[in-house]
Chains A and B, each alone.
Chain A
Amino acid sequence: MANVASIERDRPDATDVKLAARNLTVERRSAGGSAVTAATDVSFEVATGEFVCLLGPSGCGKTSILNVLAGLDRPSAGQALLDGEPITGPGPDRAVLFQEPALFPWLSVRANVELALELQGLPAEARRELAARWLANVHLERWADAQPHELSAGMRQRAALARALAADPDVLLGDEPFGALDAQARELLQREVQRVWVESNGTKTFLFVTHNVREATLLADRVLVMSASPGRLLEEFRIHAPRPRDLDDVLVARVVSEIHELLMREVDASVAREMAR
């Protein structure tokens, strides 16, 4: 019954809060140029070493929230905090994985990973060694000298994951990082990410946004479910189940169906509101 211990972990205490959103309201520009409220009054905390997924229908503002936490955007109200300090811009303490892996096409896979380390001021030998270790970790060692275009979409995303983690950030933010992958590549990446997170042994904090209920339930300690636009937090699911998880796990399947039902109700209600206008 060793795994029962995993249930013991409870609410993070105030001292180990890594990321916090406090009453965040985020606006984005519509195609016509007017400001649209993407998410409103969103508050949550992510503890050090936690894996949290922010889940919601498209347009609910989850990406806008992630951008604020990444330091790529400013909120129109509220605060985003990292280690208790307001976030004012991007930093090496936070890596971001985007849906499209932003690899430099003219650099080899290895050079892409090394570049991130060079920017941190690491000497050449350390860069080479770290890059090799992380490429091996995502099973790309044989492709180190390939150009990004020679890789499949899944391999490119694995390279981006290696690049993000080689720089040893405290926080990994993911914006639908597996959204553009085919089902098999997606499954493989989900397994890799679970493994990498488990191996970090409570030192790395992951926050992913996704609209994929199964993905969120498979990956996260906590799933925060958002409403349709303008996004607000609706419900939180805390999942105490060992990893790697499988979609066939009884608990996972059960939580997936509950969240799915909640989202369908939410989307139905939002369609009804639109129709009533």
Chain B
Amino acid sequence: MAEPEPSAEDQLAELRLTEEERLVLAKVADVLRRIQFGTVVLVVQDGKVVQIEMAEKFRLR
């Protein structure tokens, strides 16, 4: 039988996120909440997210 997936809580606890990582994740979550269809790009330099870019798509017809 497959192992049940650990809960989000457990996974987050396991990762021991730094303050900076939590900030990045918060920003990403904020972007994701506002987008229904599209693309989100994280630009990473030297191990750090330096930019979040996003393109949203809307149907007009």
- Residues of A whose CB lies within 8 Å of any CB of B are 1, 3-4, 7, 10, 224, 227, 232-242, 249-251, 254-255, 258
B residues sitting closer than 8 Å to A (CB atoms) are 23-24, 27, 31, 34, 38-39, 41, 43, 49-61
Which of A227, A233, A234, A255 makes the CB contact (< 8 A) with B55?
A255
Q: What are the residues of chain A within 8 A of B38 when measuring CB–CB?
A: 238
**Judging by beta carbons under 8 Å apart, are B57 and A250 in contact?**
no
> Are B61 and A237 neighbours in the complex by a CB distance under 8 Å?
no
Known A-B contacts A233-B61, A234-B60, A235-B60; the reply to A251 vs B53 at CB < 8 A is yes
Taking A1-B23, A242-B53 as known contacts, 14 extra A-B pairs with beta carbons closer than 8 A to each other, sorted by chain A number, are A1-B49, A1-B50, A3-B50, A7-B31, A7-B52, A7-B53, A235-B57, A238-B56, A238-B58, A239-B55, A240-B54, A241-B55, A242-B51, A251-B41
Collect the chain B residues with CB atoms within 8 Å of residue A255's CB: 39, 55
Q: Is the CB of A251 within 8 A of B39?
A: yes
Q: Are A1 and B51 in contact (CB under 8 A)?
A: yes
Query: Can you offer 22 A-B residue contacts whose CB atoms are under 8 A?
Result: A1-B24, A1-B51, A1-B52, A3-B53, A4-B52, A7-B53, A10-B34, A224-B60, A227-B61, A233-B60, A235-B59, A235-B60, A236-B57, A237-B57, A238-B38, A240-B53, A240-B54, A240-B55, A240-B56, A242-B53, A254-B41, A255-B55
Task: Give the nearest-CB partner of B23 in chain A.
Answer: A1
By Cβ-Cβ distance, the 8 closest A-B pairs, closest first, are: A233-B60, A241-B53, A236-B58, A238-B56, A251-B53, A3-B51, A251-B41, A240-B54
Question: A10 CA to B33 CA in the complex, in Å?
Answer: 13
Residues on A with C-beta less than 8 A from B52 are 1, 3-4, 7
Whether the Cβ atoms of A7 and B54 lie closer than 8 Å is yes
Partner of B39, one of A1, A232, A234, A254: A254
A residues in contact with B60, CB < 8 Å:
224, 233-236
Asked if B61 and A238 make an inter-chain contact with CB atoms under 8 angstroms apart, the answer reads no
Measured between C-beta atoms, what is the minimum distance from B8 to chain A in Å? 23
A232 to B56, CA, bound (A): 20
With A240-B53, A251-B41, A251-B53 known as contacts, the answer to whether A4 contacts B58 (CB < 8 A) is: no
Among B27, B50, B58, residue most surrounded by chain A Cβ atoms (within 10 Å): B58
- B53: which A residues are within 8 A, CB to CB? 3, 7, 240-242, 249-251
CB-CB < 8 A to A235: which residues of B? 57-61
